[in-house]
Amino acid sequence: MPLDIIVGIKWVPNTTAVNIDPKTGTLIREGIPSVVNPHDLTAVEMALKLKDKYGGSVTAISMAPPSALAGLEHVIGMGVDRGILASDRAFAGADTLATSYVLAKVIEKIGRFDLVIMGHETIDSSTAHIGAQVASWLNLPYVYYVVDAVLEDDGNTLEVTRILENAYEKYRIRLPAVISIAMHTFNPRRVRLSEKLRAKMEKPIEIWSIKDLEIDPNCAGLRGSPTVVSGIDFVPKVPRKNEVFQGSDPKEAARWLLSKLIEEGLLDL
């Protein structure tokens, strides 16, 4: 039984390259390269593994400005069959409710699918909202933090194992369904040049606008977002002693540190 899978991917600033100006506390954004959210590559890997095993197709979807095309090309390079970018000025300023709505509309327009796979969370906003919200819009069963999924013989149910803080849980879930993959579950496969070339030749990536998706503009972007940032302020800095050991002998440094901590009654040696 083949599986038609949709994976949500987000194009995010590479936070490991993000620096914060310690003087002003603001983000230094210049020259920060973007990447596919690493946890979404894990989700793509899961989708490709399922496709390798059961056949079917993998479609990657994203809501983002046109620059995110590079992200879709990247996952097509991994072996994803098709990419869809929901992109429109009217989508700007979306919170998670409005983002998930557009993604749900994209999925509805794709029409045929068995499974939607999301990443654990994004590294830029880390909300882990989108999976549950898409499930809510589409009225589908869902479960988070999946580490393993096996298609049952009937072809309509998936047995998933998921991880919580202190336990594994197993569910049998009727398809179509939405799952998110626990971070670090798989190592994403490499991009193959031949696949990437295919992306250039066959153009399997489409861009869908608000018109293509027939979305009420009041439901998308800023207008479709109940939450707004009403202000920003700075985190008060915790005052610290800022004493630094002067010298280069490690054992002396160790003695210095330990005597400080013992003096303060924080250590008893």
- Contact positions vs ligand AMP (CB under 6 A): 8-10, 37, 39-40, 43, 61-64, 96, 99, 103, 118-119, 121-122, 125-131
**CA–CA distance, 246 with 267 (Å, rounded to integer):** 22
The binder of 103, among ligand AMP, other proteins, ligand FAD, none, by C-beta within 5 to 8 A per type, is ligand AMP
Residue 52 near residue 36, CB atoms below 8 Å: no
**CA–CA distance, 208 with 187 (Å, rounded to integer):** 30
The binder of 87, among other proteins, ligand FAD, ligand AMP, none, by C-beta within 5 to 8 A per type, is none
- Closer to ligand AMP by Cβ: residue 59 or 99: 99
Nearest approach in angstroms of CB 67 to ligand AMP is 12
Q: Are strands 19-20 and 27-28 parallel, antiparallel or unpaired?
A: antiparallel
**CA–CA distance, 130 with 238 (Å, rounded to integer):** 34
- Tell whether the torsion through CA atoms of 255, 257, 258 and 261 is positive or negative: positive
Nearest approach in angstroms of CB 134 to other proteins is 9
- Closer to ligand FAD by Cβ: residue 126 or 156: 126
Nearest approach in angstroms of CB 12 to ligand FAD is 9
**CA–CA distance, 157 with 94 (Å, rounded to integer):** 33
The binder of 52, among ligand AMP, ligand FAD, other proteins, none, by C-beta within 5 to 8 A per type, is none
List contacts with ligand FAD (CB under 6 A): 15-16, 123-124, 126
- Closer to ligand AMP by Cβ: residue 77 or 83: 83
Question: Peptide bond before 176: cis, by omega within 30 degrees of 0?
Answer: yes
Residue 218 near residue 103, CB atoms below 8 Å: no
